[in-house]
Amino acid sequence: MAAVDTPNTQDLLFNPSLIPDSLQALLPPGHVIRPLSKTDWIVRDNTSFLSTLEVLTTVGKISYAKFQERFDYLKQHNDHYYTIVIEDRRRNEQGSAETDLAPLGQGKIVAAGTVVVERKFIHELGKVGHIEDIAVRADQQGKKLGQRIIESLMSIGAAVGCYKVILDCSEKNVPFYEKCGFERKGVEMGWYV
Ligand code: ACO
């Protein structure tokens, strides 16, 4: 599996310069916020990107080939889909010196989120960012990782020209999103096929 282990720039979903350095600086030691990588399928002690999403809902069994197929689609549309992760590179909970850190791409994925950019006719061909699938591993919640994911997605949305960024959430998560600067607007409705 070593061949798919390290995210090189060409493996990343989008240009990492869209994530402000000022947000990297706010992360706990040994943590990095970066675009999803084509190599992030890898299963490592249940700390993969896909297992992180399981705090949200059922993910199911997704083969490496199917993951790559979806990743390639997103990358072909990488001015629409911006998925980011927080990687904890520490080899143990105490470590943070460079020698205690796993190579980038070989740490644990602890949080993830996406902003999807919709192109409209209204507002003079305006763009709207839709925040989706925010997930922080259960044992990592309460460390501001969720907030850093949201701040990064808001920043990406603004940088690519969105005039607003919106999301749907459950009532229990309203205080979290208010802390991140969102306010209640409208009502979410759904239809399941
Ligand atoms: N109620 C009240 N306050 C909260 C809550 C809550 N449910 N969750 C977080 N906060 C507060 C924190 O106390 C903190 O406040 P502070 O600044 O005063 O210290 C602030 O919000 C930031 O919290 P974080 O530590 O960044 O939160 P965390 O990293 O735990 O992430 C999240 C929050 C994403 C909701 C996480 O708990 C999670 O993954 N939950 C399960 C999956 C989920 O519900 N995802 C969101 C789905 S909605 C969507 O995807 C658009």
ipTM comes to 0.98
pTM of the model: 0.95
What does the pLDDT read at residue 43?
Answer: 65
Residue bearing the bigger pLDDT, 14 or 188: 14
First to last CA, the chain: 38
At 69-104, the pLDDT tens digits run: 999 999 999 899 999 999 999 998 877 777 789 999
Distance CA 124, CA 111 (A): 35
Please tell me if the CB atom of residue 1 comes closer than 6 angstroms to any atom of ligand 1: no
Rounded to whole angstroms, what are the CA distances from 181 to 98, 147, 166? Answer: 34, 10, 11
Strands 108-119 and 127-136, how do they pair?
A: antiparallel
What does the pLDDT read at residue 3?
Answer: 40
Strand 31-35: give its sheet, edge to edge.
31-35, 81-88, 108-119, 127-136, 162-166
Distance CA 55, CA 149 (A): 15
What does the pLDDT read at residue 7?
Answer: 77
Ligand 1 atom nearest the C-alpha of 167 is 51
CA angle 109, 114, 118 (to 5 degrees): 165
What does the pLDDT read at residue 89?
Answer: 94
What does the pLDDT read at residue 170?
Answer: 95
At 112-136, the pLDDT tens digits run: 999 999 999 999 999 999 999 999 9
Residue bearing the bigger pLDDT, 8 or 68: 68
CA of 46 to the centre of ligand 1 (A): 21
Please tell me if the CB atom of residue 188 comes closer than 6 angstroms to any atom of ligand 1: no
What does the pLDDT read at residue 63?
Answer: 93
User: If residue 117 lies in a helix (H) or strand (E), which one and from where to where?
Assistant: strand 108-119
Mean pLDDT, residues 34-58: 90
For ligand 1, atom 44, which residue shows the shortest CA distance? 56
User: If residue 35 lies in a helix (H) or strand (E), which one and from where to where?
Assistant: strand 31-35
Distance CA 19, CA 128 (A): 18
CA angle 37, 22, 180 (to 5 degrees): 85
What does the pLDDT read at residue 192?
Answer: 93
Contact 116, 128 (CB under 8 A): no
What does the pLDDT read at residue 36?
Answer: 97
Contact 85, 36 (CB under 8 A): yes
Strands 127-136 and 162-166, how do they pair?
A: parallel
Reply yes or no on whether the pLDDT at 44 is more than 70. no
Ligand 1 atom nearest the C-alpha of 147 is 26
* Matching residue, tokens 């997103």: 74
